[in-house]
Amino acid sequence: MTCALAGGMCAVAGMMPDLDSGPGIPMRESVAFAAAVVPMVMIHRFNQIGLPLEAMILIGAAIYLAIRFGVSWILKHYAIHRGMFHSFPAMAIAGQITFLAFGADDPLRRYFISSAVVLGFLTHLVLDEIWSVQMGMFGPKFKKSFGTAMKFHGPKLWPNLLTYGLFILLGAIAAGDAAWNERMAVVRQQMEQASRSMQTTPAPWAYRR
């Protein structure tokens, strides 16, 4: 089931860089899919916090509305085609958001799912660069879009600062959360070992006839 989820997330992440292509099918379908899936991905995270069912429903609905309408409005009015959405920092941000949203107890499952998102995002960037080169009779010809997909920064300052600021902030939060997740995994393993040893060790007052 984890592999099936990772495959689906990888396929969807392959469309994410096209969110800056303006109003159209890729943006509409990707935003709608994210609005529906993100609250479900965060269910285990809500359980870890200890939220009651009613709070989970309300927060899930709020996340859906924020992504479905808020993110869609921001993309329509501020996203630029082949801007910072087509960049390595944006790819890392997608992986960080997935890592923070998918709150599995096993750290390896979280790394696996977030890596699948990064792989799907990277595949889109690589294919964009490949298709920006055409083979002609006298050698390769480069389109104007060559070099705009696989990049670390864009031509404008503020999108670069915003992207790297978000990348650093999410990276710090993800690192702290990963350390806490690792510690809790070790604690759970020790508790399970102690529980098994208590079950196998006979009580001091037990005797045989």
Residue-wise pLDDT tens digits, 13-44: 888 887 777 666 767 777 888 888 888 888 88
Query: Distances in Å between the alpha carbon of 32 and those of 35, 43, 78, 120?
Result: 5, 18, 19, 18
The pair phi, psi for residue 7, each rounded to 5°, is: -65, -40
Q: How far apart are CA 34 and CA 48, in angstroms?
A: 22
Element (H, E) at 46: helix 43-49
Domain ranges in the chain are: 2-133+146-154
- Mean per-residue pLDDT, 80-90: 82
pLDDT at 116: 94
Instruction: Judge contact between 27 and 75, C-beta under 8 A.
Output: yes
Global confidence as pTM: 0.78
Residue-wise pLDDT tens digits, 105-133: 788 888 999 999 999 999 998 888 887 77
Instruction: Using the CB atoms, write b or e for 187-206: b if 16+ within 10 Å.
Output: eeeeeeeeeeeeeeeeeeee
pLDDT at 137: 64
pLDDT at 145: 66
Residue-wise pLDDT tens digits, 148-182: 778 888 888 888 898 899 999 999 999 888 888 78
Residue 187's nearest CA partner among 100, 111, 107, 113 is 107
Residue-wise pLDDT tens digits, 51-82: 898 999 999 999 999 988 888 888 777 777 77
pLDDT at 66: 92
Q: Is residue 48 classed as helix, strand or coil in its secondary structure?
A: helix
pLDDT at 22: 65
